[in-house]
Amino acid sequence: MRLATWNINSVRLRINLVLDFLTSADIDVLCLQETKTEDKHFPAEAFTEAGWPHHAIRGEKSYNGVAIIARKPVTAISHRDWAGREDCRHISAQVEGGIQVHNFYVPAGGDVPDREANPKFGHKLDFLSEMTSYFAANRPERSVLVGDLNIAPLPEDVWSTKQLKNVVSHTDIEREGLIRLMNDGSWHDVVRAYFGAAEVLYSWWSYRARDWAASNRGRRLDHVWTSLDLADSVSDVQIHSDLRGAEKPSDHVPTVITIAD
């Protein structure tokens, strides 16, 4: 099974890009974040006609939104509201092989890394803390956690750990919080494990860069974790950085894992 995660930054705007990717990369299960559309406007028909007829979607107008798209049936569809808000940042479903997929879009956290001065940053920290408590109490088995977690936890996940030390997404409190979530929740970072500790990895490049490829100031904000019982089942990992150079791209690119269970 080939499973991908991608913050698409509007699924309706980029539906053709998504469909081309599904076909060219031979994806079985696609998890999208920032779909930015209400469920009634989600392009379900286009996915169905292309050969991906099974969907778990949860969206709202203009913001947030998550979806799981699959070739084979998805079951046990559910979601949780985190940090006291109903803002369409999580959906879960069981896909082929009896694997439970949790698809998250963690809040970005604003620009100021201070919860008193910036409520958005406080919301992000609370969201992360609640995720940690939940998975620590509900140990995952045959599960995958994916999504735009909006944190680059390691120095090798950013273009300059020194210059980004006090920038939201790479502050110490966020980095430590994400690693705590992974450890306390018994998750395994299969992307980092596959490429090794020293490999510099990015999945996001800002729109603000005049030439994103030349400056290459990226961050690894998008993650794929498996429960410990699936850690040895991942046979391949790919980060499709070429899609950052597509026409009208998302600022994120897909990360794909192959599970040979």
pLDDT tens track for 62-105: 999 999 999 999 999 999 999 999 999 999 999 999 999 999 99
Q: Which residues of 205-236 are buried (b: 16+ CB within 10 A; e: fewer)?
A: beeeeeebeeeebbbbbbbbbbbeebeebbee
Checking if the pLDDT of 219 tops 90, the result is yes
For residue 3, what are the β-bridge partners? Answer: 29, 257
2-259 to CATH, choices 3.50.50.60, 2.60.40.1180, 3.60.10.10, 3.40.50.150:
3.60.10.10
At 187, the pLDDT band (50, 70, 90 cuts) reads very high
- Among 44, 72, 45, which Cα is nearest to 57's? 44
pLDDT tens track for 124-164: 999 999 999 999 999 999 999 999 999 999 999 999 999 99
pLDDT tens track for 17-69: 999 999 999 999 999 999 999 999 999 999 999 999 999 999 999 999 999 99
Q: Which pLDDT score is estimated for 193?
A: 98
Tokens linked to 187: 């998750």
* Three-class secondary structure of residue 128 per DSSP: helix
Checking if the pLDDT of 261 tops 80, the result is no
Q: Which pLDDT score is estimated for 128?
A: 98
Q: In this structure, are residues 212 and 250 in contact, taking their beta carbons and an 8 Å threshold?
A: no
With 0.85 as the threshold, say if the pTM is over it.
Answer: yes
Average pLDDT over residues 157-184: 98
Q: Which pLDDT score is estimated for 46?
A: 98
Tokens linked to 79: 């979601």
Residue ranges covered by each domain of the chain: 2-259
Tokens linked to 127: 């969201």
- Among 57, 94, 88, 98, which Cα is nearest to 76's? 94
Which residue in the block uniquely carries the two structure tokens 């944190």? 151
